[in-house]
Amino acid sequence: MNHIVIIGFMGSGKTRVGKRLAKDLGLPFIDVDRLIVKKMNMSVKEVFERFGEAFYRALETMAVKELSTDSERKVISVSAGLPLQEQNQKYLQSMGTIIYLKGSAATLIKRLEGSNNPTLEGTENKEEKIKKLLKQRDPVYEKFADIKVVTGVKPFDELIAEIEEKLKA
Ligand SMILES: Nc1ncnc2c1ncn2[C@@H]1O[C@H](COP(=O)(O)OP(=O)(O)O)[C@@H](O)[C@H]1O
Ligand SMILES: O=C(O)C1=C[C@@H](OP(=O)(O)O)[C@@H](O)[C@H](O)C1
Ligand SMILES: [Mg+2]
């Protein structure tokens, strides 16, 4: 497929960037988290609480499998944990151009201050947890990236322009 796929840590801007790219490119936008929220008619947090993380991960796999064979080109923001799951990786790789929105620990910590993300909830030291998870996840995101851009260093519009240039190259 030739989708444009956005990956990255929680708070890296996948949803915001994906929405804007889709608008600029005149493509439909899909956000995997939002797709699940709609399907389940409850928040991500509620799905985790009522059915557990494994169930949420299974929903992610169903979504990515379906999208990997969807022939209508789209901008797709996948949830942060999705690329980490081995069962998703073959689908992810067949989807199209993968953009990694890379953020420093400092940028992500700042953006996730008020977040009620279930992956970070209940942790005593949120900063340490973010740093630890980022260390585990960054090499995986790097591995799958066709295009890498750093978020948090330039204004949003300039970041979008950089991505659009790289997509043309
Ligand atoms: N390039 C950026 N510069 C500043 N703030 C940003 C940028 N991209 C996203 N944000 C903000 O960071 C937060 C997380 O963005 P979001 O798109 O929800 O991330 P994700 O979907 O990767 O978890 C939001 O408040 C969003 O407005
Ligand atoms: O990192 C994770 O494990 C998760 C990230 C979230 O997505 P965002 O990247 O949109 O925050 C959401 O899918 C869920 O809370 C699990
Ligand atoms: Mg999001």
- The total of structural domains in the chain comes to 1
20 is known to lie in a ligand binding site: no
**89: Cβ contacts below 8 Å, ≥ 6 apart:** 83, 144
Lateral strand order in the sheet of 3-8: 29-31, 75-77, 3-8, 96-103, 147-151
Nearest to 144 by CA among 104, 96, 108: 96
The mean of the pLDDT values for the chain is 96
Q: ipTM, 2 decimals?
A: 0.97
Ligand nearest to the CA of 158: 1
Residue 31 gets the label, from left (phi > 0), alpha (psi -120 to 50) or beta, of beta
Tokens of 53: 């993380």
Residue with tokens 């796929």: 5
The H-or-E segment that residue 117 falls in is none
Range of the structural domain that residue 94 is part of: 1-166
Q: Are 79 and 118 in contact (CB under 8 A)?
A: no
pLDDT of residue 167: 97
pLDDT tens profile 23-56: 999 999 999 999 999 999 999 999 999 999 999 9
Ligand 2 first shell, C-beta below 6 A: 10, 14, 33, 44, 79-81, 117-119
Q: What is the mean pLDDT of residues 80-88?
A: 98
Q: Is the pLDDT of residue 156 over 90?
A: yes
Q: Is the pLDDT of residue 1 over 90?
A: no
Q: What is the mean pLDDT of residues 8-21?
A: 98
Residue whose CA is closest, atom 7 of ligand 2? 79
Neighbours of 58 (CB within 10 A): 14
- Is ligand 1 within 6 A of the CB of residue 10? yes
- Domain containing 106 — which CATH number? 3.40.50.300
Nearest to 22 by CA among 30, 33, 32: 30
**142: Cβ contacts below 8 Å, ≥ 6 apart:** 100, 148
Distance (Å, whole) CA 78 – CA 95? 11
